[in-house]
Structure 1
Amino acid sequence: MRIGILTKAFTAELVDAAIAKHDRAERRRRLLPARLVVYFVLAMCLFARESYEEVLRVLTSGIPGTRVVARVNRSSLCRARARLGEDVLETVFRQVAGPLATPDTPGAWWRGLRLLALDGTQFDLPDSTSNGDTFDGPSTTGGVPFGFPQVRAVVLAEIGTHGVLDARLGGYRDGERSLAYPLAGSTGPGDLVIADRGFCRSSSLTPSPWRARICR
């Protein structure tokens, strides 16, 4: 059921266009073509507790036109993800991100204004050297790392549907406010944004574009 929803939201035409935009189409026949890798990464979000191999098995048995990929191991999947790169997935996201509520959606409106929420969170990443170098993580006062590397995310979402309009990712040391600044451009005059007061805190160094929108 969930795989069907995945392919309905992210059509093959949309995925192929993103692959072509970033020139990630394979030059030779591969067991893991770029389109399948895109769907594999998306399916990992649906089956976060499953192994790479199990996600691939579920994916290839649930999408019409694909075949079960035999003898594909974890390292092959990692290399396929590296070949694909992050730009394709960001393009796919930005093609589908946006409001979903209709005029009849409960909890989505207040006095004719679309209700949006702005919030931040953090996610643990696998404890690898590359993740630690790229994203950083918690450390002692002496600078000794402990725990897992972490990515910080700030998301602008529709309250009534939880549909994501925009998002920005950064490392552990990036501030939520700095990540939130670009998201202001994804709001409009008919939106009412709810956020905690930390996003509105004044700064003499970096004026916030949110101040005119949510801090009046």
Structure 2
Amino acid sequence: MGYSRLRALPSRVGVYFLLAMCLFPEVGYLLVWQKLTASLSALPVVTPTTKALRDLRRRVGCAPMRRLFEVLSGPLARPTTPGVRFGTYRTVSFDGCSSLKAPDTVRNRAWLGSPGHGGYPLLELMTLVETGTRALIGAVFGPLARARAAMPGACCTY
């Protein structure tokens, strides 16, 4: 019995692949794919090419990941949880970092700007976290000015 070739990997597989890439950030596409499909030994699993996995990642885009973040993020503490309230107010913390290096491409330099000291363009990450539970409530990333403007009132030192 022959198997027909899949020309395009399903988008659902692409979402799983992107999540697996987050779990194994230091390895390449093919090794991430092998780790993702390791338990499927009873099924005939064909390893796609690096190009097919790259095309899958581009086709899926950021919308499913953004939606997943919107569903999972938010405060977790109940009103009676110790350490998460000051009187009637929920306590939260802002945190930011600008040490995430982006690939040195023309597109990234146009978006993030060029660092004055040379080197890679830097990506700013700003997060809002619930104190006590450390639940991620919100996050923005991008150029330095955009990330700080997206969360007004954030007081950060770098």
Match of 2:3 in 1: none
| Paired amino acid for 1:179 | A
Match of 2:47 in 1: 70
Superposition TM-score, scaled by structure 1 size? 0.58
Gaps of 5+ in 1: 1-28, 141-145, 185-194, 199-216
**How many percent of aligned residue pairs carry the same amino acid?**
33
Residue 70 of structure 1 deviates from its aligned partner by 0.9
Contact 1:135 1:149 survives alignment (8 Å): yes
Q: Deviations over 1:149-201 (max 9, x none)?
A: 222121111122222111122224x25431213xx8xxxxxxxxxx5367xxx
Call closer, same or farther: CA 1:57–1:102 in 2, change over 3 Å: farther
Match for residue 115 of structure 2 among 123, 135, 138: 138
Match of 1:157 in 2: 129
Match of 1:88 in 2: 64
- Taking only aligned residues, the RMSD between alpha carbons, in angstroms, comes to 3.1
Matched residues, number: 151
Q: Does 1:180 find its partner at 2:156?
A: no
Contact 2:95 2:156 survives alignment (8 Å): no
> Which of the two has greater helix per residue?
1
Superposition TM-score, scaled by structure 2 size? 0.75
Residue 56 of structure 1 deviates from its aligned partner by 1.8
Contact 1:61 1:68 survives alignment (8 Å): no
**Structure 1 residue ranges (4+ consecutive) displaced by more than 6 angstroms after TM superposition:** none
Match of 1:214 in 2: none
Contact 2:96 2:156 survives alignment (8 Å): no
Residue 68 of structure 1 deviates from its aligned partner by 4.0
Residue 102 of structure 1 deviates from its aligned partner by 3.8
- Secondary structure of the residue aligned to 1:154 is strand
Greater RCO, CA 8 A, separation 6+ = 2
User: Within 5 A, what are the aligned runs for 1:186-205?
Assistant: 196=155
- Give the whole-Å Cα distance in 2 for the aligned partners of 1:95 and 1:67: 33
Q: Does 1:60 find its partner at 2:37?
A: yes
Q: Does 1:119 find its partner at 2:113?
A: no
Contact 1:107 1:160 survives alignment (8 Å): yes
Q: Deviations over 1:15-34 (max 9, x none)?
A: xxxxxxxxxxxxxx545211
Call closer, same or farther: CA 1:166–1:68 in 2, change over 3 Å: farther
